[in-house]
Chain A
Amino acid sequence: MRGLSHRLHRFDVKQMPYVLIAPFFILFAIFGLFPLIFNGVVALRTWRLDDPAQDGWAGLANFEKLLTDEDFWNALYNTFGIFVLSTVPQLLLALCVAFLLNRRLRGQTWFRVSMLLPYITPLTASTLVFLVVFGRDYGVANWVLSVFGMDDPIDWRAGKLQSWVAIATMVNWKWIGYNALLYLSAMQTIPRDIYEASALDGATSWKQLWRITVPMILPVVIFTVVLSTIGGLQLFTEPMLLDANPASASGGSNGEWQTIAQLIYKVGWKNLNLGYAAAMSWALFLIIVIVAVVNTLVTSRLGGGKR
């Protein structure tokens, strides 16, 4: 009896921690890590859903095809265009909103919670609303523009720039409040005596914002830049649903706003060419890593230079 309970105790101390963390690592290995690695194998093969007989090693053929694929370069161009139009205003406006929230407010909690309305709204639902808002003939967006004197209604799906603006608006709407809360939480950890000292030197609140607040919250700004780079370059739902026929995944009649994530879906599950879609995923991964690193460097330069 004693021996058994002793052994049980040993197990509880020595092995139990591993039992507790095992579910995470097992599930992650199967459904997270393995697909990531296996994706590399699929990219080197011909892998067709409609015709398994063609399956076999393809070497680098999928990647070679990528280099001359006009659809891919078009999608890359669109993805970057929408990314710039959505990320830059998003983070700047989030900074403004955080600046407003970082005051002694009546109904403080209420204001903060309300900033999350766009964040909790399902992306499919909000995109469908914006689809109507950006209608050519009776859309709210064109009506607002007409109030300001722009009487020529814009056909939001007819060209690259206007469709990018429409999609960027959806992204900005969803993420400004969320990022503002991230900035706000960093702003509130800045020690108060720094503000006191700078006030003695006669700094205005505008100067304090750029000389103290922004440099002090720089780590969180970099964090949001990385997050929005990862998210922005994988944009899928908005471009899918802006289409008059969403199931086509074509991003406009001439691919005006087709993003890479959307093209991967189209190649993989509409054209049934999984090997090629896997190669595209790898390309996208590489692009995300490069852009995230570059953006981090640029942001820390800009923010640090203001000091």
Chain B
Amino acid sequence: MSTTTDTRAAAPAQARPDQAPRRRLKPALLGRAPQDTPAGKWTYLLLGLTFLLSIYPIYWMFVIATSTDAALAEIPPKFLPGGEFMKNLTEVFSLQDVYFAESLVNSVIVSTVITVSVLFFCSVAGFAFAKLRFRGSRILMVMVVLTLTVPNQLGIVALYILMGYLPGEGGWNGSLLAVIVPGLVSAFGVFYMRQFILGAVPDELIESGRVDGATTMRIYWSIVLPAIRPALAVLGLLTFVGSWNDFQWPLITLGGTDYPTSMVALFDLASGNYVLYRRVLAGAFVATVPLIILLFVGGRQIVRGIMEGAVKS
């Protein structure tokens, strides 16, 4: 964009925050767009405050998870974590009718299978919609976009009934299949992959593959797949987070069974007759840690995925 360079060329000294002249001019009067204006003290202060408010509940969860029952009755509230984490955790894992350890394994299975499947099926479908010519491709793509807008919770009663009729003892309700299979594809994934492949894979590359006699799947593996790694990372992270945190449908279909996901197990943990919040929050903390690690490792990609999605919509 030429205007960017124009602005910077006109005021080269002001482009660097440390060299900005200390004149009493409002930033807007310098003619700079907000995103080129260095942040002032107040901006940092308010952003810092926002950060503290964002992290406090998570930190407080850790404080209670590491404390004794007495910590919940302190005024002012306890600020530093205690040393009881292992004890609380052992109690959570040894509770009779909560199945917390199994639930973590189940959550890992569910989220991993769904993520791998969404990445594969959505990237091949996105590839077909972006680069292959076939009859009805436009109208079918419109259908994909339309399904994005339908809140799928609304068919939840019928979905439960449907699961009851599927093959197997008592149908699929109460088994991980009921949670996994409906999540194997996502309309958002197809849409996101199509948009990315349109821009990331040049038509000439695909044509030259065709000329060399490569099949469609061969082109997918050796030309498309290497080019869309960043998009796979973004979609994979968003999908994993989404399926790990899913609660309502797993509660309906897995609630009261011996095979809950960790979200359902947390619900059980908080539902007993004798609820101890140091235990509940120790369990909650354990179920949160994998996602915090994921944010730490893939935060950039998650931010990018969310921001790109916004512009495209």
Are B156 and A281 in contact (CB-based, < 8 A)?
A: yes
Q: Are A101 and B47 in contact (CB under 8 A)?
A: yes
Residues of chain B lying within 8 A (CB to CB) of residue A92 = none
Contact residues in A for B217 (Cβ distance below 8 Å)? 16
Shortest distance between the CB of A40 and any CB in chain B (Å): 8
A58–B123 Cα gap in the complex (Å)?
A: 45
Q: Is B34 within 8 A of A128, CB to CB?
A: no
Which residues of chain A in 173-225 are interfacial with respect to chain B, using CB atoms and an 8 Å cutoff?
A: 173, 177-178, 181-193, 195-196, 198-200, 202-205, 207-208, 213, 220, 223
Interface size class of A (residues with CB under 8 A): 35 or more
Cβ of A91 within 8 Å of any chain B Cβ, yes or no, is: no
Chain B: residues with Cβ within 8 Å of the partner, total of: 113
Partner pick for A199 among B31, B44, B277, CB 8 A cutoff? B31
Instruction: Say if the beta carbon of B231 comes within 8 Å of chain A.
Output: no
Please encode chain B, from 251 to 291, with 1 for each CB lying within 8 Å of some chain A CB and 0 for all others. 11001000000110011001100000100110011011001
Q: Is residue A263 within 8 Å, beta carbon to beta carbon, of the partner chain?
A: no
Interface string of A98-117 (1 = CB under 8 A from B): 01111111100101111111
Residues of B within 8 A of A32 (CB): 147, 150, 152, 155, 182
How far does the alpha carbon of A262 sit from the alpha carbon of B125 in the complex, in Å?
Answer: 36
CB < 8 Å neighbour of A195 from B31, B53, B313: B31
* Known contacts A36-B158, A42-B157, A204 near B26 by CB under 8 Å: yes
| Interface positions of A from 88 to 141, Cβ below 8 Å from B | 97, 99-106, 109, 111-118, 120-126, 128-133, 135, 137-138, 140
Q: Are A129 and B39 in contact (CB under 8 A)?
A: no
Of all chain A residues, the one with the shortest Cβ separation from B127 is: A20
The answer on a CB contact under 8 Å between A24 and B300 is no
Instruction: Give the shortest distance, in Å, between B162 (CB) and chain A (any CB).
Output: 6
Residue A274 at the B interface, CB < 8 A?
A: yes
B-contacting residues of A (Cβ < 8 Å)? 12-14, 16-18, 20-21, 23-25, 27-28, 30-39, 41-42, 47, 97, 99-106, 109, 111-118, 120-126, 128-133, 135, 137-138, 140, 143, 173, 177-178, 181-193, 195-196, 198-200, 202-205, 207-208, 213, 220, 223, 230, 234, 236-237, 240-241, 245-247, 261, 264-265, 268-269, 274, 277-278, 281-282, 284-285, 288
